[in-house]
Structure 1
Amino acid sequence: MSMLLLLGSVVSLPTQTGLAHEGPDPIADWNFAPSSEEASLLEARRGPAAQLQGTYRWLEDDAGRALEFGGRDAIAIMATDHNMVADSLPTESFTIAAWVSIDEPREWGGLLGVIQDNGDAEAGWVLGYDDRHFYLGLATTGADDGNGHMTYLRGESNYALGKYHFVVATYDGRTMSLYVDGKLDASSEEQSGAILYPRTAPFVMGAYRDFNEFHAHQGRIRRMTLYNQVASAEWVAQEFAHDAAIAALPRYLTDPEFEIVVGPYLQNGRTDAMTIMWQTTREASSTIHWGTTAECEQHLPLERSAYVHEGTIGDLTPATQYFYRVESTDSEGTVLRSDVWTFRTAPDDDQPVAFAVLSDTQGNPQVSGKLAEFIWGHRPDFMIHSGDLVDNGENDRHWTEHFFPSLQPLIGRVPFYPVLGNHERNAPNYFEYMSLPAPEYYYTFKQGNAQFFMLDSNRDLDSESEQFRWLETQLAESNATWKFVCHHHPPYSSDENDYGNLWQGNRSTWGDLRARQLVPLYEKYGVDIVWNGHIHSYERTWPIREGRAVTSDAPRYLITGGGGGSLEQAGPTRPFFQNHVRRGHHVVLVAINGTHLEFKAYDLEGRLFDTFTIEKSR
């Protein structure tokens, strides 16, 4: 007999095979043995049924039936508002018991939950997993700080991709417990009291979903049961032993559908060439079709089969519009064809040029996508990105679900030139996705009569460093009318706490001291603007020379960190270098015509909030 311990008393619980018993029923229990393989409804033995959406399929193995969630858009929705099914939700204590497998890690994977976790507004509960461990997230009345406080209890053991695990999460009003494969994996007493539910939230399975986040599960679920009482460790161990055949099933990973998951997008645009890249879910052989009309009458077969595809079209005419599309074929002969896109080659140095500046897009595709659409509306020739493209460069999905999809309307049509931020973590993903002049972590390029010098400010920048010596040589040799430098960390910043807490004292370095070692080069060789990020706000300095604000003929420092990351703000007083600061998401547009430069900064709603011009004598 299966046993449940509730507040010191022992009661009986049903096994998975039947519901005739002496103890309490689950408040929600779903049937993973549908009458039809075409079923789009996950029926419930108790509680609300779930409407299946996105990519899913029913599977059968030696231990029975399971539901496979395909990731990206897969989800089972019991209610769009949890208040509609309040009778099927726990209020003071609970047990969640599930047999699940994970095919692909997520930073915020979700299996079952009712949650809102938006900034410091936190309420509800969720059973899920991160890159390596299962977790239980919970907010209660006892830990409420006025806006809700969520504890994420993460397990100690690592899950195995493609293998079934029995995961049980419990809460008894005082203690959160997480069990994996019959054993206690973690516990916490940080929460207490009744469950603190949000005003409204969906009740879902197979995803982590709240107001502004959706992380779909990729893997299988074959059991999901929810009780409003608390399981004992003995019950958990017995249930795991009872279904040992499930744990013994061989490892199985979902074969992804063949599709273009990234791109196409543009890199390293020149007067006579353009590099085109994209990624497919399977290794494939590929071809770029291109031309001066939408027929794309010419083609360039790529030399090797790959997941990330890269090809460079050469012998092009400067300042000319071209059309392109890409095509990939997998080993089974399935062919993928992209839409037709356009690009324009770089202009000669006697023609005007326009570009955009964006930074710190991180994990906020709603904001970065809106800014990308705005930038594209102004038809720039290219974009520079001052680092922190993603929140975690080691996480594949931050690239495939955040950065590339949100910027696709822009970077499919204009090339972009990034630098490494601290959030990229120098990860192989960055170097796999980018095709930049060698050695890629620092490089230079020209567009029109402007030259850009792109640096990695995570590395050494002292006068003996590789980048310092390279930069001095490049600046000394440059004959460009306009010289711009871009690196992530700002030499000058008014930020309230990154360089000293200005709300607690008056000591600050007023910027990154490692990056400030480059300032003498900028002043010596006539750099016009230094583009930075890292601080999630906007700041423009006066021209600065020898530690003093001047009116002209000296570098200006521009922090454009409002591409999506959580916003920051300036300190309470104004340092000597500060000209214009603003808290808010934003983008910068620059237009150059000969010796004339126009600068404009726009907020998330497309409203102009800063502008200036520079006139040169040559």
Structure 2
Amino acid sequence: MGKYRFGQWVILSACSLSLVACSADGDEGPGAAPSNDDHRVTDKVPATPPAVPAVACPTGRVAIDATSLAFDGEGGYVTMGNAASLALEQFTLEAWVRRDGFGMPHAAGEGGPDLVPIAGRGGGNYVLGFAEDGELAADLENEEGVHHTVRGKSDISLGQWHHLAASYDGTTWRLFVDGRLDAELVAKTTPRTSGHPSFAVGSMLDESGKPAGFLKGAVDEVRLWNHARSASEIADSMFRRATQGTGLVGRWAFDEKDSGAPDSVGTSHGTLSKGAAFVRDGAILDVGLPPALRGNPSVDGRNVTLDVKVDDPDSAAFSASFYLREVTAGEDFTIVVLPDTQYYSRYPEYSKYYYDQTKWIMDNAAAYNIVGVIHNGDVVDQVNVEAQWVVADKAMKTLETKSARFPEGMPYGVGAGNHDQDPFGTAGGTVKYNQYFGTSRFQGRSYFGGTYSANKTDENWVTFSGGGLDFVLVDLQYSSKAREAAVLNWTKNVFAQHPNAFGIVNSHHILNADASFGAAGKSIYDAVKTTSNVQLLTCGHISAESKRSDQFGGRTVHSMLADYQSRANGGGGYLRIWEFSPANGELTVRTYSPTAKKFETDANSQFTLKVDLSGAGNAAFKAAATVDLADASSVRATVDGLAPGKNYEWYATVTDCAHVVSSPVYRFSTK
């Protein structure tokens, strides 16, 4: 048995702790099978987990000080020049890649698909990169100028290292993610080898050497082979340096000590541009495989067992640390939704309702812990009437009042409605809308993330935080028909760039009065339902209240409609108050008029939804216990005597000296 080091359960009032280490085939003990009612698992991992205590490394295993080449996504790349040895008809291109952001896509040759490049002869031979919706993709062009593009299926998580590869055997494209086949495409063509495009990493260079498209992230251990490697060959060697091998025609280790980007097996040495720099983070190679973790929490009344299975085929020695926190009701927070304000903007006698709404939000920001505001669109009723925009501008400026809590004003997002479009109801006709709510209005506000189209907020995204949880809101303008694939891919990409954030889509028309999807709403839902962090869709447009909850892939997406414009006084100032409770995993929706000082409490106006708020909470994870093991593959911490009816979150971190791996965050409730 290994040596145990105990921490203190600093967030618990009274409990006892014991640690048990066991082998994979050992006794699992009572209650090992988890109950779905007692715990949840999420793919969210704390952004800054506590440091893992050092573990005594076995002989021959040492911690690695790895480096890689990072690219800024704006102009950084490295070029290996136009080497004839790199113009191939059959090949395997592989690399370790950490994608940190969207980057800058560009066409892979004339008539080719838009890709964010990783590496290749992208000006007209072959290129490996990322497609618009974030999946791995590769393209080749034949001598006739015809492009053959294969697209992957796996989500490539941002901020994490992945081994990515593409092979072509003269007939079939194949993509590999972390050593596993991800997609394939029969092309039956010969890649173009004529012309003079240069091989590059981080960008694509045309025949004149001009770069286009840029990767935002880091790359390590790039290898190019003159044949298609098998899946087993790729998997077997991806955690090792390849300093030689039959058919290896280029290899760039991107080690800072090499003073540049030399080709260790050939003469195609790389030249770094501005925007490419070495960083002390890279693929961990030549020290075996990283451990894989599987959490298995079980709850029995007021006791809980935190159990982590460790699969590390080439090492029996590792250090496991547990972290725990309580999620309390004191961390509740609120988002406010403003349904269509068009008649408040149009009729002077109704403008007070709009002014009262935004004033109430700021006056009650502390009492309700309001962290953000969503406007569903139809800011005005008649797009070309200046006076209506003046009213809307004045009302929304109240949200921009600066304070110690909100130095940039209250974070908010707006989606253009059909009445905000000119010609009426025409997507893209938003000149007036952008005059008042364009990018210039949000310049300098850090919560404003960006836009789909340059200098236009027709489609935009913003961020805000509540209860220790980050939110990403994507605002999409009104459309009477299904949204374009490019817009939907952009939307998915925004959420993919923030995998640990709670995702919300705001578009003017998503649901109808009977809770069925409109054409645009159906296309939006179908696009984001595969994006694991989107949980809420919100809209107006139809004067009604409705809601629906759809299940996909084991999770729930809630869609809500609220619009009161057909009621007396243009809607009477009713808004939606979304109250989030991380402790209970719930969102309570309430409907309120600040002018009438009245809540509406029927079932369509006030209700509670279950949402996944795992990872929310301002309390820090505290180190609970650490155990060093030399002969076990499972470690278990048992907590006794927890307070009943409370909610806790925990995760574990394991290191085998060379690798550090964190489990997902798990949540459990005591009974």
Verify same fold: TM over 0.5: no
Query: When the two structures are superposed, what TM-score results if normalisation uses the length of structure 2?
Result: 0.33
Query: When the two structures are superposed, what TM-score results if normalisation uses the length of structure 1?
Result: 0.36
